[in-house]
Structure 1
């Protein structure tokens, strides 16, 4: 299309004698007019496409596959040919000749008047049926509207000038869309002169592909791969449209790989197009919005991360990427997808006229999961889903202090209809004292790994193994096989080892510290004294005398320390597997305001503050999970005890503030992710102890969690090691870590804080720890953390003590570093992509 400058030649000749300023004004007006006409012309392809789709809808040749509604009332409607039409807030365009279908065929409206659209023979162009034609429009060189009825072979005019001065540049044939109350159909409205016409079209159901990428666009570094969860319905074929992005799609996941070169030289956004087709050939378009950066994932990253990548002598980081269910590579399928028998608690209540507590105990007893009718019941392979439909279930009624039966089994799921919809109530504490209280649900294996009768020595380690390695050499491999879970153990009273374990805290040790005492037994149970390292591992292979684990060893193995029990040994480990709790809420009645250990309160009720309302503990389980669960007014939320590779994620804690949040207790490689702690009372915010660890836990990852601004992460003493707090938010105050005086230190080696966002440094007593923050204090018995690794601490300003031995490594205090998440980056490094479950959780 030519510009409109030639239309105004006569105008320029008339004003030739005028001032330069006036000529400049006229030229500006011409330029503006040209710009608006260009904008109008740019909308013509979409308008012509809308004309064709409009006709296809009314002819019944196109179906409506779906729709979306924007915040300003505009509809985007998906059609069965893979295209979309837009209805802009019920307002048709003002500058385009509005085409419509009415009685007799095609019409057009120009300047408020409606006329038949005529063909070259002077007859009205037909719209529907076999003889119907599809108009196209354009603007000719003189700025006049033209239309074609034969696919652009010939053009007709005489329908008026294109006037870009009116209205907006948007196009919209329809004047409105109404969705039926049951959302099964859409009614389209359009104008034909003064008449409003409409047609109702049913929504086609059963063709969908949903990609769980969160809120887009998703940013990718050069060459980066990410994996996203996918759900499909009725998809027969998929066509992927992208030139430079790598895309691999299967039934449940899609992996996207960014180009290794940014050809534009700047960050830019793009869409990956997936055209999905039903078996009838209907089409929908799915878009994944992406953004390509100009740097690689490791460029400009933290020095600590680069040292880890190169595995050089300066590296201080362990590999935490094996934490969680299935070593972090996936998450369990939905509870209903296991194929287990589903038992409906509400149905049982109604059928047998039982209370919720009675019905649940009966279900558990019938499936040999509790010891009610049998004193030896246990069921490692229950294969049931205990389903609580939406509603309230009082499992600890007012006046009932008796313990709920402990649950012994695996391969079962406790499932609701969603947090806030299914509510399991504790209206009374369990027990009457600290010694008699218990969790509501205690799901456990009875054989403790610390009982020497239940955890026989299977092999003695014969050679040293470095921290981060995967294999140990043993004297004998009898009883060891691929897939078996075992514990790698050391107990020692060697003082040289104690110096290594305590570092700069060694000179502060006291005789009554359990770690400083000689190990022994209390009956058949270990007494917990001396240096105590406990790692649970799954054997990947056995070759000769070498045992290789699926996971890295998180503590150096030095066979010189063999003063007790043969030194480093592999022992048996008894457990249950695949226990899930999901999609429900636990509701307690935690006392408010909260006082730690009931300090200063009635001594007879002090136990209620810390232990009165504890809904859930899982002990000696592997590959188990708690997800999409909320906790309201509880003393504690979740504890994983002596367990391995379990996950708790998408957890919320609300209501009255209590004692603790989610912890790994004497466990290996537990993943605790996306825990939002919003509990509160008049004295503070968040549980007294945030998410964290206690006892000989190792390899724990606390990812993207928050805790109160006047609280702290939990590090509850009794020899936890190698814990990663990754991209978390919360207070950084002393004395909220927890732990008895004789179980110090609060944490041993390899505590790692990565990109901690500090929300507060002042505790409930008003003491501010923002300046010269110490990780251990010779003058205080309650705060002793072995020198940690702190990288990217930001948020509220905090400075760490420069006293020698306070930190193992410090980088970028005051500013966030990349990668944002160490766990995510390590998974990316190990797998080559970020797993779909973690992308979805973000």
Structure 2
């Protein structure tokens, strides 16, 4: 843990010196009047050799009172005397990232630009695959008859092709007309398949589910199967161990060294996984302490990322995407191999449930999960685009995947339990997606279960709810240019007390606009008056809107509190820095959103 702690403290203390100051969170002294031009920044070189990361002496800082479960500071808020919002201003945080990226030093926050389909470099494709029209297999929209069997036949035929589009002409299709069903209605397996409709709005393609499903273990309120289950492979979601990592690596690195790479090949999908109870010490949570009831954390499997191998030289592996976590050779870091599906998509379809009750959290399995729409497991380079969910208590979950995009997703209708949830995945991008339910889903967009490098971008939810971080150790999550509730919200993060903390390092809010209506509320990110709600290393840049108060020592940085900043979007700025310009697909997406 020595190396791990040194890496962690170096980053945290450096950020604290630059960004927090331990007192007033008004970072006006760090503001700069000019936004650096990413196009003028040199391309970051990929080193051909990887020297062992050196551990510099820790910098000396003035003592700061830090909260621990045994000595939590009183809820003293950060300064609330920041000037009122003014014209957006650029800040030192972005310049610091560019300098660190070019020099190879420890990054102030991860590079989130690799999130999404093809790491954001390419538009969602429109392949000329064979088309299978559901009406050719007996489905008939708007006839008020069950279409499930015909649609399943269409999908079965399409999966035999080497690339296929299952086409749903406009109209309403009935898929859940029977009750007492205990299994998913539609099961999809494999790659190169698109479900495509003729529009997700009114008058487009609607898949309607009248009856909810049942669970064989109803006492476990999360166990109802989804209406549609999509699996990219039969591989275990945890993968199969191949070898161990033998050298240190840090956030932002593309290289890892293993004991034996002979069983690995370029283009393999891998999982980098910490599995060592010796790592589950207070050092991993500085300045906090491991709590007695944290049985899952104590198992020592609290850091994991999905990656793809770009190349191999000896026992040195080059990754296609950068690490979003530090790796210490002092602990048992495993490299596992996993098989993922690819090029799966859903486009231009509305998924409409029949959940009509007034939602009550954990009242019963009916309220929590009986109306679950879609679960996707084990995919890379896949997407959902232009979709709508109405009247569900769970909409969409993405698991054991990487390089996945959700674009233009809309949620409406009756309030339910869970919005879009990303878990056990790397580099999922949720962009231009909105919860338009009156009071929002109880848990808004969020992460859980070791999710990493997740980006929620230019999206929104109502003021009555807030983001979800559902415990089991997600890390490196970016809420980027989000309009959503926070202060005084009635929903939000969840998770078992045994699976705390809710979030590990690098929970980043960039230009988050708090729509809440409870100015002055104090947010305790590491509560000691409850067995829930533990968040590590909060990084807030450009937080504005309602004026919540925060406890200084709980923030790794709090820049420009009360004012939005330049660059407007961290994801876009990092992507432009890497590619030299924003890709056309993203410019077009932003343009269309402004025109709506």
So what's the TM-score if we normalise by structure 2?
Answer: 0.79
Contact kept in structure 2, 1:642 and 1:666, CA below 8 Å: yes
Q: Kindly state the Cα deviation for residue 459 of structure 1 after the two structures are TM-superposed.
A: 2.4
In terms of mean alpha carbon deviation, does 578-587 or 655-664 score higher? 655-664
1:390 aligns with 2:170: yes
Give the match for residue 589 of structure 1: 354
Give the match for residue 137 of structure 2: 348
The correspondence for 1:556, drawn from 326, 334, 337, is 326
Q: When the two structures are aligned, how many residues end up with a matched partner? A: 496
Q: Kindly state the Cα deviation for residue 436 of structure 1 after the two structures are TM-superposed.
A: 6.1
1:748 aligns with 2:535: no
Change (3 A) 1:436 1:349: farther
Change (3 A) 1:671 1:709: same
The correspondence for 1:482, drawn from 266, 277, 283, is 266
Contact kept in structure 2, 1:316 and 1:809, CA below 8 Å: no
1:588-621 Cα offsets, whole Å, 9 max, x none, are 12233211122xxxxxxx1111212211111011
Give the match for residue 18 of structure 1: none
Q: Which runs of 5+ in 2 are unaligned?
A: 1-33, 41-87, 591-596
Structure number with the higher strand fraction is 1
Change (3 A) 1:666 1:383: same
Question: Secondary structure of the residue that 2:494 maps to in structure 1?
Answer: coil
Give the match for residue 411 of structure 1: 192
Q: Kindly state the Cα deviation for residue 752 of structure 1 after the two structures are TM-superposed.
A: 0.4
* In structure 1, C-alpha distance between the alignment counterparts of 2:164 and 2:213, rounded to whole Å: 27
* In structure 1, C-alpha distance between the alignment counterparts of 2:36 and 2:91, rounded to whole Å: 18
Change (3 A) 1:609 1:351: closer
Contact kept in structure 2, 1:505 and 1:784, CA below 8 Å: no
Q: Kindly state the Cα deviation for residue 543 of structure 1 after the two structures are TM-superposed.
A: 1.2
1:363 aligns with 2:154: yes
Give the match for residue 381 of structure 2: 623
Change (3 A) 1:435 1:676: closer
Contact kept in structure 2, 1:401 and 1:431, CA below 8 Å: yes
Structure showing greater relative contact order (alpha-carbon pairs closer than 8 Å, 6 or more residues apart): 2
Change (3 A) 1:382 1:430: farther
Q: Kindly state the Cα deviation for residue 761 of structure 1 after the two structures are TM-superposed.
A: 5.1
* In structure 2, C-alpha distance between the alignment counterparts of 1:430 and 1:587, rounded to whole Å: 14
* In structure 2, C-alpha distance between the alignment counterparts of 1:320 and 1:305, rounded to whole Å: 13
Change (3 A) 1:781 1:579: same
Q: What does residue range 106-117 of structure 1 map to in structure 2 within 5 Å?
A: none
Contact kept in structure 2, 1:449 and 1:572, CA below 8 Å: no
Change (3 A) 1:531 1:223: closer
Q: Kindly state the Cα deviation for residue 774 of structure 1 after the two structures are TM-superposed.
A: 1.6
Contact kept in structure 1, 2:475 and 2:507, CA below 8 Å: yes
Change (3 A) 1:651 1:351: closer
Q: Kindly state the Cα deviation for residue 401 of structure 1 after the two structures are TM-superposed.
A: 2.9
Give the match for residue 511 of structure 1: 293
Q: What does residue range 690-769 of structure 1 map to in structure 2 within 5 Å?
A: 690-733=444-487, 736-760=492-516, 762=518
* In structure 2, C-alpha distance between the alignment counterparts of 1:339 and 1:305, rounded to whole Å: 41
1:202-255 Cα offsets, whole Å, 9 max, x none, are xxxxxxxxxxxxxxxxxx9896769xxxxxxxxxxxxxxxxxxxxxxxxxxxxx
* In structure 2, C-alpha distance between the alignment counterparts of 1:712 and 1:392, rounded to whole Å: 32
Contact kept in structure 2, 1:650 and 1:841, CA below 8 Å: no
Contact kept in structure 2, 1:225 and 1:834, CA below 8 Å: no
Contact kept in structure 2, 1:716 and 1:746, CA below 8 Å: yes
* In structure 1, C-alpha distance between the alignment counterparts of 2:465 and 2:89, rounded to whole Å: 33
* In structure 2, C-alpha distance between the alignment counterparts of 1:674 and 1:350, rounded to whole Å: 32
Q: Kindly state the Cα deviation for residue 386 of structure 1 after the two structures are TM-superposed.
A: 0.7
Change (3 A) 1:731 1:435: closer
1:307 aligns with 2:96: yes
Q: Kindly state the Cα deviation for residue 725 of structure 1 after the two structures are TM-superposed.
A: 0.5
Contact kept in structure 1, 2:433 and 2:458, CA below 8 Å: yes
* Higher alpha-carbon Rg: 1
1:322 aligns with 2:100: no
Give the match for residue 425 of structure 1: 208
Give the match for residue 825 of structure 1: 573
1:343-402 Cα offsets, whole Å, 9 max, x none, are 1112322699984101011123334x5xxxxxxxxx6x7411111000001111153635
1:704-732 Cα offsets, whole Å, 9 max, x none, are 11112021111000110010110001111
Question: Secondary structure of the residue that 2:432 maps to in structure 1?
Answer: strand
* In structure 2, C-alpha distance between the alignment counterparts of 1:583 and 1:500, rounded to whole Å: 48
Change (3 A) 1:609 1:350: closer
* In structure 2, C-alpha distance between the alignment counterparts of 1:787 and 1:671, rounded to whole Å: 22
* In structure 2, C-alpha distance between the alignment counterparts of 1:302 and 1:355, rounded to whole Å: 57
Q: CA RMSD in A?
A: 2.5
* In structure 1, C-alpha distance between the alignment counterparts of 2:36 and 2:462, rounded to whole Å: 37
Give the match for residue 649 of structure 1: 407
Contact kept in structure 2, 1:644 and 1:670, CA below 8 Å: yes
1:580 aligns with 2:345: yes
The correspondence for 2:314, drawn from 499, 520, 544, is 544
1:785 aligns with 2:535: yes
Q: Kindly state the Cα deviation for residue 571 of structure 1 after the two structures are TM-superposed.
A: 1.0
Contact kept in structure 2, 1:798 and 1:814, CA below 8 Å: no
So what's the TM-score if we normalise by structure 1?
Answer: 0.56
Q: What does residue range 191-210 of structure 1 map to in structure 2 within 5 Å?
A: none
